[in-house]
Chains A and B, each alone.
Chain A
Amino acid sequence: MKRVFLICLGALIASSILLVATLPGHRSAIPVLTWVTQDDPVKRATAALFPVWLAGQGLPPAAVTIDNANIEATPTGPPKELIQGVSGVGGDLLDVYMNQMELYQATGMLADVTDVARQEGFGPDATYPAVRGDFVLQGRQYGFPRSVDVTMCWINRDTFDRYGIAEPPHRWNWDQFEELGRRFVAAANPPGARERVFFINRVWPPLLRRGLGLSTFNETLTRCTLDDPRNAEVLRRLYRWTVVERLMPTQDEQYALVADASGFDSSFSLFASGRFGMIYEGLWALIRLRPRGDFRLGVVEPFTGGFPNTEMGGGAVAVYAGSRHPEIATRFLQFLTSQPFNLLVARSGDSLPPVPAYAATDAFLNPSGRPGEKGVQEAFARGGREIGIAASRSPFVLPSVVNRIDTEEIEAMLARRLSPEDAGRITAERINAEIAYTLRRDPALRRLYGERQEIQRRIDAGRAAARPVPAAWISDPFHLAYYRAHGWLEREATP
């Protein structure tokens, strides 16, 4: 028995040594960066392109390896990446999605690249102004976007033709949506139909609120404002479209329609099979739709209640603060502004290239061999220029918490457990309670909160007196765009 025990121990030790010896960093003579991201053709091509770019720049060689085992891109956030990060064993490069940036930055696990970005030309000015908030927090830069996405309404033209329904116009409002949607579902779901066909997969509630001039937070992001009567109006519409008219499934219904846990990928298969007439998604939907066949696709703006807007955000890459190769990892961010990388993104259809100039190239606007996609890229580029606004995220409460609370109360309203007014009130109360809880525990944030509250008082006073306010006072991206559109900003602050 002792011999067996020793043999097992020896085998385990030998296996461990073998494992360590065969890790990418040990096998290679050059530094190997680990990039925690999804393993897809674009990422693989990006990883292959980086060493070529380094050589072209006359920089020391390095390689990138993709680690897709530790990414968990769900709407509720990625515990694995976070836990590994704060434990000191994160990847050199981390994919950081919109709702994760605040969380990761708050832990201190992301390297501050502000100064080197300014020197090397990959500062905030190198990309779209609307997405700066996705990687610049409280004036400091923590990454650079590898993709910039605008969310629009995709139309499966074949589905609309099948039911003899006219396609929506490029810019449309709630009433048009409701009217067209009602006719669509009536035509697509004859009595006794076994499987339900929906007009659209989902809408983003903040989009609807923004259409009425309401944001999740006030101008300085210090208070949740969803107890506003305009939110009740939005929720009433949402109820009508989801429960009464059945123009779209509930979120849980969508989860239930497919096998995967998040329901994330379901939209594409259901859109391709004609179960959804439209989907509200980003340009990256092309990556999911192309393998499903050739469609005749159209793209229109999301329907709004007055103020045209849509969701815009960047999928950023950040450097892990505990990286063993911080300089090379930072070079990777610089590489994201390069021509080869931006053309790669432009050709892939994954998103808008992070550097805006490449969205005007032929490589982006006219992808070869894709007649069904005619006009799609142009519509997204235009959407980004004209109506794209970043999500509102407060430094005083995590976006994932806001998202969870908002979703819960909307679901409770859809289940008729709450009136729209109560749902809005409770959402605001819960989010404001979370803000208060954070402030009680974090003295640094308390100082920032005090400063912002003072600014908010001045904004409120200025607006009450119908005076314009400086753009620098406004932290919420929606309010900034809204004030700008209505001429409420001081002249010197407008671009």
Chain B
Amino acid sequence: MSAGTARRRWLVGMGFLLPNFLGFCAFTLVPLALSFGMAFTDWDILRHNIFRHEALHFVGFDNFTRLFGDPQFWRDLGNTLFLMLGLPFGIAGSLGAALLLTRVGRRRCAVGPALVVATLIFVASGLVLLRGGMAGGGLAMLLGTFSASVLVAGVLTRGTVYRTLFYLPSFTSGIATFVLWKNLYNPHGGPINLALSRLGFDPPNWLGDYGWAKPALMIMALWAAIGSNNMILYLAALGNVSPELYEAAEIDGASPGQRFWNITWPQLAPTTFFIVVTGVVAGLQGGFEMARPMTQGGPAGATTTLSYLIFTEGFETGRLAYASAVAWFLFVLVFILSLLNFRFLNRHADD
């Protein structure tokens, strides 16, 4: 290849890369550097913008000093960490879902039982229709038919339909699912509280009660986590576990529990490690998108997380410098926790 051709190929390659690189610089690198610098200034959108040109002052660590002396910051940090307690449950949920879906995919003779169950659901729905009339009965029929169709379709497609349905929360718009959950949590007539009342419980005011607001958001996050990308990662990882290992274990007489703990779990360790690291990062940065439409950070700040604080300080009060300081504190926290994860968990993953 001549020097001219090589140079031309290099230029073409760079041409392809340039739009992406420019986008990265404009929307990531430069704002990142700016926000770092901003954290050490008194940049306030009210006084420093295209209409007001007051001098920007370097204030050293003032914003960080204020941060650590602010009781609201500690409260919001506490809320963030509390919401992260749901992370292990989310991981367990996605692993459980992946294991179930893998089992469905492996079974070959489940069509018969599935058809029996579907027929029973049809018959039961018909009986409900006869007894309850068109209003309640029609809905039961609809739900029954839908459930039966899903069941049969799932078995016939060897789990593909189930996988799609489980993955539904991931490709449904976040705001749509939040609206759905707000209705589910409705304290007066929401399906969850109706069900709890019928079972004899005194149902809580999920989103309006100080003690219940955080758990309510965690339950919703758990639902989303079960069918998340983590499930897809686990499905892929499970597919890579060598069947010979299970066959050997079966020959040795290992129980299903022993097979899981001694084969599946260790084989999934690298995937679990990746999920824990990304989960911790997402957990520390998260909370805002849920809390904003569902609780607006309330009641009494019970669901205000650090990301919510950044939004409030940056765009409600215009204190961009202070908001940047919170953001960089969050970065440091994420960095330290990720280092700890790599230091202590990676060892097990490598094992």
Which residues of A are interface residues toward B (Cβ below 8 A)?
A: 2, 5, 76-77, 79, 82-83, 86-88, 103, 106-109, 194-196, 249-253, 255-262, 321-322, 398, 400-401, 404, 407-409, 411-412, 414-415, 417, 437, 441-442
Q: B52: which A residues are within 8 A, CB to CB? A: 107-108
Q: List 19 A-B contacts (CB under 8 A).
A: A86-B50, A106-B47, A107-B318, A249-B208, A250-B299, A253-B187, A255-B182, A255-B207, A256-B205, A257-B187, A259-B182, A261-B293, A262-B296, A404-B312, A409-B300, A411-B210, A411-B300, A414-B299, A415-B300
Given known pairs A77-B315, A107-B52, the reply for A252 and B46 (CB within 8 Å) is no
- Rounded to whole Å, the gap between the CB of A345 and the closest CB of chain B is 30
Contact of B299 (CB < 8 Å), options: A106, A415, A441: A415
- By a CB distance below 8 angstroms, the chain A residues around B46 are 103, 106-107
The docked-state distance in angstroms from the alpha carbon of A401 to that of B301 is 13
Contact A401 B317 (CB under 8 A): yes
CB distance from A20 to the nearest CB of B (A): 20
CB pair B51–A256 under 8 Å, yes or no, is: no
**Given the contacts A321-B51, A404-B316, A261 and B189 also touching, CB distance less than 8 Å:** no
Q: A77-B316, A79-B311, A261-B294 are in contact. List 6 more A-B contacts (CB 8 A).
A: A194-B188, A252-B205, A404-B312, A412-B300, A412-B301, A417-B300
Asked if B51 and A322 make an inter-chain contact with CB atoms under 8 angstroms apart, the answer reads yes
B60 to chain A, nearest CB (A): 14
Distance from B207 Cβ to chain A, minimum over Cβ atoms (Å): 4
Judge whether B295 and A86 touch: CB under 8 Å.
no
Across-interface contacts of B298 in A (CB, < 8 A): 251-252, 255, 407-408, 411
- Interface Cβ pair total, 8 Å cutoff: 129
Chain B interface size range: 35 or more
Residues in A neighbouring B186, C-beta threshold 8 A: 256-257
Residue of B nearest to A76 (CB): B316
* For the complex of A and B, 7 pairs with smallest distance between CB atoms: A108-B51, A252-B208, A415-B210, A411-B300, A86-B49, A79-B315, A412-B300
Q: A87-B50, A411-B298 are in contact. Are A256 and B182 (CB under 8 A)?
A: yes
Chain B hits for A437, CB < 8 A? 66
- Decide yes or no: A82 and B183 within 8 Å by CB, A109-B49, A252-B213 being known contacts: no
B27 contacts the other chain (CB 8 A): no
Please name all residues of chain A whose beta carbon is closer than 8 Å to the beta carbon of B182 when the two chains form the complex.
Answer: 255-256, 258-259
Please tell me if the beta carbons of B45 and A195 are within 8 angstroms of each other in the complex. no
> How distant is the Cα of A322 from the Cα of B51 in the complex, in angstroms?
8
A408-B317 in contact given A86-B45, A441-B42 (Cβ < 8 Å)? no
A471 to B296, CA, bound (A): 39
Bound together, the chains give a CA A77 to CA B311 distance in angstroms of 12
- Whether a CB of chain A sits under 8 angstroms from the CB of B16 is yes
Of residues 312 through 337 on chain B, the ones whose CB sits less than 8 Å from some CB of chain A are 312, 315-318
